[in-house]
Amino acid sequence: MARYIGAIAAGILVGFATVWIVETIGHALYPLPSDIALDDPAAAGRHADSMPIGAQLFVIAAWFLGALAGGSVAARIAQARWAAWLVGAAVAIGAVAFIFWIPHPEAMQIAAVVAPLAGGLVAGHWPAARAPRMKRRASDA
The CA-to-CA distance between both ends of the chain, in Å, stands at 31
Residue 139, pLDDT above cutoff 70 = no
Cβ count within 10 A of residue 77: 18
Domain ranges for the chain, please list them: 2-131
* pLDDT (average), residues 113-118: 96
Per the CB < 8 A criterion, the answer to whether 116 and 67 are in contact is: yes
> To 10 degrees, what angle do helices 106-125 and 82-101 make?
160
Residue 90, pLDDT above cutoff 60 = yes
What is the spatial distance between Cα 2 and Cα 37, in angstroms, rounded to a whole number?
43
Predicted model pTM: 0.84
* pLDDT (average), residues 58-83: 95
Per the CB < 8 A criterion, the answer to whether 77 and 83 are in contact is: yes
What is the spatial distance between Cα 12 and Cα 74, in angstroms, rounded to a whole number?
8
Predicted confidence (pLDDT) per residue in 22-65, tens digit: 999 999 999 887 777 767 777 777 777 788 899 999 999 999 99
pLDDT of residue 120: 95
